[in-house]
Structure 1
Amino acid sequence: MFRMPELGLLLLVCHILASITVGILFRFYGRINRESKVKEDKNLWSRFKKELVYNSRQKLNPGTMLGEAIRNSINVMLSIGGFITLFSVIINILIEIGFISYLSSFVLPILSPLGISREIVLAVLSGFFEMTTGTNMASKAASTTLQGQLAAVSLLLGWAGLSVHFQVYSIVSKTDISLKPYLFGKMLQGVFAAIYISIAMRLPFTAPLTAKSVLSVITPLSDFTWYNALIYSAQNVIISCVILLILTAISLVFYFTKRMCKAILVRSMR
């Protein structure tokens, strides 16, 4: 999109930090309801055994379960593809008939004093409905700096768009899961990701990125072989796995530290 592979890792780190921030803010959300549940339900192993016993009583053989799993997977993929196609068509129709431009006329007077261009406003409004269209428009906003483009893209990636939210709703609609905290969390993730990417672009180690021309990093098609693509993809996968392992290790340290402190506290009270 930006023809700058270096920005991919920067966006990844900023979104991980944004997700962690949202997780910290949501730490105490619904804590009273969670504590009111039966202690047995908190044990994942006991819940797994209950589900195993329930499935065994249904007399479902492995072939039936495998076939059902495959059918459900295909249905979900078709549903997701349908949502993407539907919202892509809808947002392009809204752009062509001038509805997005009409909305921008109300928002632009408020945001223009902040230095936000009309192209970014159009991209964000489009990305509110469909993320891919909005991020593509933001990356092509020629009148905006790279920092502004990245902030808009991060905001849209965090929000994900109504298309993704309807996909989620179609999956969880038959459960008792509330979408309100999910939508609020996605909004916060987009805001924090935009803030973090704006801060990161002002740091010294990102200065070469702002000075680098987009056209200067475009790899000629003749030089972009499958081997180079494979190596580059493998490097990104390894870096992502390392980051996830580090975050997992930190989470486990906090988890076991909390359990140890709780156990020590219980022993001291006896």
Structure 2
Amino acid sequence: MPLVRFLLRPAIIPAWVAALLALLLVFFPASALEASIRGLSIWWEVLFPALFPFFVISELLLGFGIVHFFGTLLDPLMRPLFRFPGSGSFVFAMGYASGYPVGARLTAQLWEQRLITRAEGERLVAITTTSDPIFLIGAVSVGFFHNAALAPLLAAAHYGGAFIIGLLMRFHDRKAPDSPKAVSAYAGGAKRSILRQAITAMHRARLMDGRTLGTLLQDAVQAALRLMIVVGGLVVFFSVIMELLTNVGIIEALSGLLRFVMGAIGMPDTLANAVISGIFEVTLGAKGAGASTGSGLVHQAAIAAFILSWGGLSVHAQVVSLLSRTDLRYRPFFIARLSHAILAIFLVYLLWNMLGPVS
């Protein structure tokens, strides 16, 4: 019994999981290779060209002091709404424009520069980990559903849900202190305009950075490449995991259980496979939701909104990797993603008569 208790300790379980995956690789090498190539193709053809420019530009903007500019300018707006400093507005804009996991990367950078506290960072990364509009409109609405009229509904449910989560997250860790820079950014210079203070903050940040344009550009490209390698590795890894779990029947077993649950709550059980795929990887899940044509468009849209807002464990792993050098915790992020996903479903049903496509 002591040996059994030792082998089942939480610290030992990851080792057993890793050993099981290694064993599955031995039994299904061809499937694992095909899944790896598939994941690598997604990374090279979709993620690399979509994310790499944003990573480079964000590094440059940080070096130029643009974050400090927006931090000072928008601090009076961001703090009452979301309880993080104005520098979070930069992450807000870049995260929503470029999609996951850019928000996590920029949040980690702000934490490293001591512009945000742990609580503020956890709030910020929870609400800026969203799909980018190009993926939501082009890939999901047009590519998977073949219905561009669905885009306004999905956008309202996804981004509207993120905004609501942001308002709720302001109550997260309520006793945590505000970041000093956010408080002092405009309080010390009340006689000067907020715009002038923002420009001064940007200038000081640029002087403190001190790197030449050539050095800054080189560092930005190198940092972006390192990050893209991590993202690519995680995409390939989860692609292989999905394939191995499918080969041994675990995915089908999970789908069967979910079909029973969905049938009990009145949702079409034909969407169970899409949900299971989306729990692991957002692209596969959204594609599965669009392909389940006999389930009813409103239910398909609700599941697609759920998957987009959840993000998939692949994105979760990317976020955890990006935050590994900070003291930001995964649990608040997980709760926010799950809450966002459930809220997105309700928003789709609530807004269907107003924004849903006309039959």
The answer to whether TM tops 0.5 is yes
Matched, 1:65 2:216: yes
Deviation string 1:47-97 (CA, Å, 9 cap, x unpaired) is 8677556534xxx44322321111011121222223223222321332243
Which 5+ residue runs of structure 1 have no aligned equivalent?
212-270
Q: 2:307 aligns with which of 156, 162, 166?
A: 156
**Residues 179/52 of structure 1: CA separation in 2 closer, same or farther (3 Å cut):** farther
Structure-2-length-normalised TM-score: 0.51
Deviation string 1:11-52 (CA, Å, 9 cap, x unpaired) is 1122121011111111222232124x54x5634569867755
Displacement after TM superposition at 1:120 (Å): 1.3
**Residues 130/20 of structure 1: CA separation in 2 closer, same or farther (3 Å cut):** same
- Equivalent residues, number: 203
Paired letter, 1:29: H
Contact in 2 for aligned 1:123/1:138 (Cα 8 Å): yes
Partner of 1:55: 209
Partner of 1:13: 156
Deviation string 1:104-141 (CA, Å, 9 cap, x unpaired) is 23333332122333331221112111111111112111
Tell me, in whole angstroms, the C-alpha distance in 2 between the residues paired with 1:193 and 1:65. Answer: 40
Quick one: percent identity of the two aligned structures? 27
**Residues 179/25 of structure 1: CA separation in 2 closer, same or farther (3 Å cut):** same
Partner of 1:4: 147
Deviation string 1:208-262 (CA, Å, 9 cap, x unpaired) is 2xx3xxxxxxxxxxxxxxxxxxxxxxxxxxxxxxxxxxxxxxxxxxxxxxxxxxx
Tell me, in whole angstroms, the C-alpha distance in 2 between the residues paired with 1:109 and 1:47. Answer: 57
Structure-1-length-normalised TM-score: 0.67
Partner of 1:42: 183
Specify the SS of the correspondent of 1:176.
coil
Deviation string 1:150-195 (CA, Å, 9 cap, x unpaired) is 1111000000011011111111110122222222111111111111
Which 5+ residue runs of structure 2 have no aligned equivalent?
1-143, 186-197
Partner of 1:134: 285
Paired letter, 1:2: F
Map 1:73-112 → 2, pairs under 5 A:
73-112=224-263
Contact in 1 for aligned 2:150/2:356 (Cα 8 Å): no
Structure 1 window deviating more from structure 2 (85-94 vs 188-197): it is 85-94
Contact in 2 for aligned 1:119/1:138 (Cα 8 Å): no
Tell me, in whole angstroms, the C-alpha distance in 2 between the residues paired with 1:100 and 1:23. Answer: 33
> Which structure has the bigger radius of gyration?
1
Contact in 1 for aligned 2:153/2:355 (Cα 8 Å): no
Partner of 2:345: 194
Partner of 1:23: 166
Matched, 1:114 2:257: no
**Residues 185/205 of structure 1: CA separation in 2 closer, same or farther (3 Å cut):** closer
**Residues 108/200 of structure 1: CA separation in 2 closer, same or farther (3 Å cut):** same
Paired letter, 2:209: N
Displacement after TM superposition at 1:9 (Å): 2.1
Partner of 1:181: 332
Paired letter, 1:33: A
Specify the SS of the correspondent of 1:157.
helix
